[in-house]
Amino acid sequence: MQQRIYFDNAATTSLDQEVLEAMMPYLTEKFGNPSSIYSYGRESRLAIENARKSVAKILNAHPAEIFFTSCGTEASNTAITASVRDLGCTHIISSPIEHHATLHTVEYLHHNGEASLSYVQLLPNGHVDLENLEQLLAETEGKTLVTLMHANNEIGNLLDVHAVGNLCKMYGAIFHCDTVQTVGHYPFDLRNTPVHFISASAHKFHGPKGVGMLYINENVKIKPFINGGSQERNMRAGTENLYGIVGFARALELATAHYEADSAAVKSLKLYMMEQLKKNIRGVSFNGDPIGNSLYTVLSVSFPKTEKSEMILFNLDMAGICASGGSACTSGADQGSHVIRAINNNPNQVTVRFSFSKGNTKTEVDTVVSKLKELI
């Protein structure tokens, strides 16, 4: 059987064996409903609250500020919608390269007549133009929501969260930051970060799929996004994903414990792949700010467009290599990447995102580069 090489860790990561072991008791004998008052229910409730405390401690937040959700998308939807409907934001500032969980939500609220919408300008390297952000904030009369991601999932550019947060503080704006690509990959100190909401998802850092987290600063009061039962302190109705929540906390504990070694190893792999691609493939270029202020797990690569390279993802898949697309425009129903269109709208290039984890090796990079030489 063909050995697969998985270079799409920004889409999802493999479940860590230790995370699975932590989850297993709650998938088997500890199956009680956390809302039940007898012993089965109480041990499930205890597991959730211990997970909450662990996550809060790692992020330097208060446990009452941590709410478990089904995913990062739900967390972002909740924060953005509540900012408009509950906190009185009448204007939203976002960027054209946000994840669709944010973009589609702000577009919906705008088209529904609930808020006006502005997009901050981008610098040539894909970073948010902070001067333009301040200008937009200064021009707005009503209360504003700023929703900008910490790390772009396609090109890896990192946002200066403190700089944006301080601008929001200066102009009395609400700040939601999509941190789905960075929680579990960087240390956080939310007690000393000027942000009202952050979103996270366990499967981006070797936890299970189907569980996310929304941080809501203790000074912010919003209404439930999902109505029904009293779960998550009356903020999110529905029986909790018990084993998912346990897995989220364990994955975050492991990611934090091994952060320095893992991040250094993954970053060196990314830089090694950049070197090998430049050495072996003529006309290759990189999107965003890959060796500057950038997520160490993501490398967005543009190749010259040829008859062979147009089918690059299909051919990589046939060779057992998993990567994702990011071209500005492709044929058929697929409209290509809105991120690449916004920063590098070159019809003569084909873009591929490679994203790495602690499980990848230089040997795998060599194999992929060798295959790319054949294909391009």
Closest of 175, 160, 187 to residue 220, by C-alpha: 175
The yes-or-no answer on residue 177 being catalytic is no
| Residues facing 145 on adjacent strands | 92, 174
Position 25: which residue type? P
Residues in the chain: 376
Q: Which helix (H) or strand (E) holds 181?
A: none
| Residues facing 214 on adjacent strands | 67, 199
| Residues facing 151 on adjacent strands | 158
Both tokens of residue 188? 């956080």
Sequence-ordered list of residues with C-beta below 8 angstroms from that of 203, at least 6 positions apart, any chain: 12, 13, 209, 210, 211
Name the H helices within the chain. 17-27, 39-59, 72-85, 100-111, 130-139, 161-170, 231-234, 242-257, 259-280, 312-318, 338-343, 362-375
Catalytic position from the list 71, 177, 322, 329? 329
Residue 357 CA to residue 207 CA, distance in Å, equals: 13
The answer to whether the CB of 275 falls within 8 A of the CB of 361 is no
Which residue is associated with the tokens 């941190």?
Answer: 179
Residue 318 CA to residue 311 CA, distance in Å, equals: 11
Tell me which DSSP letter residue 309 carries.
G
Sign of the Cα pseudo-torsion (100, 103, 105, 108, in order):
negative
Residue 23 CA to residue 251 CA, distance in Å, equals: 10
The set of catalytic residues is 329
